[in-house]
């Protein structure tokens, strides 16, 4: 099949460090190539791929000091994709902003948009009402919740996946807890610090700090970085995560927002590391409570869960990742959706949702 993958331009594919959507696009693209499909990736020029790369900007917009407004680049990207649209069996967009929808739905070319972000923002309502008939994929069932009253053309829920050889099973637990993410009120590194101190176990933090979150960081995080149990290691790469997550006793995922998926949870499972996560967003779909970690509703419950981590089989965590969250399974789910679009099949019969068994 001839497939176009259209990535956001904010980060390279894959991103050098932090970046969820672009990382997923990379894993999907490379797996589709491995499965024998003819794939073209529309992305930043420094992206690395086995697919044919069509560079739309020289470097990611986020790190380009000359970029003040990203909209002109988005419009140019859509126009370049449309120039080549007839060359593909399907166009797969990975932008939560549906700027491409007014044009591609008039082309007659099968297309799919995966929504990677939260959908509960009030500003999105009118947008999705207008384009409810456009074929879309969600990355969790919970992600769809804010739009359940709209007649959306959902083609599939396909969970994000990772290459099976990216991380190794570490069968023996380490002696510290881990936090990976952003320093922000949504990700709640402050809760992770509270949990670790109450449990009396060291916490290692690998996190990115965006400029907009600096005031929150200064007030809620920085004072605690001098605590003897707390260590901040900075922002880490995929290569670093293998050891960082693999040698952790558990990953703390104390989010305070409707997380659409949460890649770091399956990265931990791939290492065999259980997850202690707050019951928000996709967490109950990703984590099997009592089997691959613990789902909690408070800091107190999280502290209690730390004392029960020896009940979790790390080999089972790895096996659950392989069965549910591999890049191979993700690609197979999308290929079924592509085929359904090409041949006009109803999504219910063309693409079984990746529901939790």
Distance in angstroms (rounded) separating the CA atoms of residues 184 and 154: 31
What residues are paired with 93 via a beta bridge? Answer: 6, 113
> 245 with 168: CB under 8 angstroms?
no
DSSP state of 180: E
The CATH number given to 177-323 is 3.40.50.2000
User: 2-161+326-350 and 177-323 share one CATH topology?
Assistant: yes
Token duo for residue 29: 């693209």
Cα separation of 298 and 192, whole Å? 11
DSSP character for 326? B
> Is 0.85 topped by the overall pTM?
yes
pLDDT at residue number 156 = 95
**Between these two residues, 209 and 316, which has the higher pLDDT value?**
316
- Determine if the peptide bond prior to 14 is cis (ω within 30°): yes
The total number of residues shown for the chain amounts to 357
User: Which stretch of DSSP H or E encloses residue 20?
Assistant: helix 20-34
Question: Which residue's structure tokens are 């040698």?
Answer: 247
How do residues 99-144 score in pLDDT, each as one tens digit? Answer: 888 888 777 789 999 999 999 888 888 889 999 999 999 999 999 9
Q: Can you give the pLDDT at residue 318?
A: 98
224-282: pLDDT as tens digits: 999 999 999 998 887 889 999 999 999 999 999 999 999 999 999 999 999 999 999 99
pLDDT at 356 over 50: no
Strand order in the sheet with 111-115: 52-55, 38-43, 2-6, 90-93, 111-115, 135-138, 153-157
Domain-by-domain residue ranges, the chain? 2-161+326-350, 177-323
CA-based angle 19:104:346, to the nearest 5? 90
Q: How many CA atoms lie within 13 A of 233 on its CB side?
A: 17
Beta strands 111-115; 90-93: pairing state: parallel
Across 95-99, 121-125, 163-167, least confident range: 95-99
Q: What is the DSSP letter of 225?
A: G
DSSP class of residue 162? B
Q: How far is CA 254 from the centre of its chain?
A: 16
Reference 330, options 170, 131, 166; nearest CA is: 166
* Residue 355: strand, helix, or coil: coil
Domain 2-161+326-350 has CATH 3.40.50.300: no
Q: Can you give the pLDDT at residue 72?
A: 87
State how beta strands 250-253 and 2-6 pair. unpaired
Say how far apart CA 29 and CA 13 lie, in whole Å. Answer: 10
Considering Cα of 237, then 22, then 121, then 71, what sign does the dihedral take? positive
174-203: average pLDDT = 97
pLDDT tens readout for residues 245-258: 999 999 999 999 99
Q: How confident is the model at residue 96 (pLDDT cuts 50, 70, 90)?
A: low
């Amino acid at each position: 099949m001839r497939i176009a993958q259209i990535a956001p331009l904010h980060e390279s594919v894959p991103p050098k460090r932090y970046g969820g959507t672009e990382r997923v696009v990379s894993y999907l693209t490379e797996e589709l190539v491995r499965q024998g499909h003819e794939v073209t990736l529309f992305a930043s020029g420094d992206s690395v791929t086995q697919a044919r790369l069509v560079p739309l900007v020289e470097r990611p917009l986020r790190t380009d000091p000359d970029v003040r407004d990203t909209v002109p680049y988005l419009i140019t990207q859509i126009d370049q994709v449309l120039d080549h649209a007839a060359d593909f069996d399907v166009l797969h967009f990975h932008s939560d902003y549906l700027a491409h929808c007014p044009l591609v739905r008039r082309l007659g070319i099968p297309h799919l948009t995966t929504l990677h972000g939260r959908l509960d923002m009030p500003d999105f309502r009118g947008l999705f009402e207008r384009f409810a008939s456009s074929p879309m994929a969600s990355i969790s069932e919970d992600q769809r919740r804010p739009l359940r009253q709209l007649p959306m053309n959902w083609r599939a829920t396909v969970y994000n996946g990772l290459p099976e050889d990216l991380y190794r099973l570490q069968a023996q637990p380490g002696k510290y807890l881990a936090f990976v993410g952003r320093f922000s009120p949504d990700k709640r590194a402050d809760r992770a610090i509270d949990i670790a101190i109450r449990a009396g176990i060291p916490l290692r933090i690998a996190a990115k700090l965006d400029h907009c979150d600096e005031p929150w960081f200064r007030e809620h995080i920085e004072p605690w970085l001098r605590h003897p149990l707390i260590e901040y290691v900075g922002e880490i790469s995929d290569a670093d995560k293998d050891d960082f997550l693999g040698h952790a006793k558990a990953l703390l995922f104390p989010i305070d927002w409707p997380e659409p998926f949460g890649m770091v949870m399956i990265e931990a499972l791939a290492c065999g590391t259980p997850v202690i996560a707050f019951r928000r967003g996709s967490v109950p779909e990703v984590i099997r409570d009592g089997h691959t970690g613990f789902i909690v509703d408070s800091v107190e419950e999280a502290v209690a869960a730390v004392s029960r981590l020896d009940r979790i089989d790390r080999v089972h965590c790895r096996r659950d990742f392989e069965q549910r969250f591999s890049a191979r399974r993700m690609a197979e789910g999308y290929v079924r959706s592509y085929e359904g679009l090409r041949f006009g099949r109803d999504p219910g019969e063309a693409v079984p949702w990746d529901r939790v068994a």
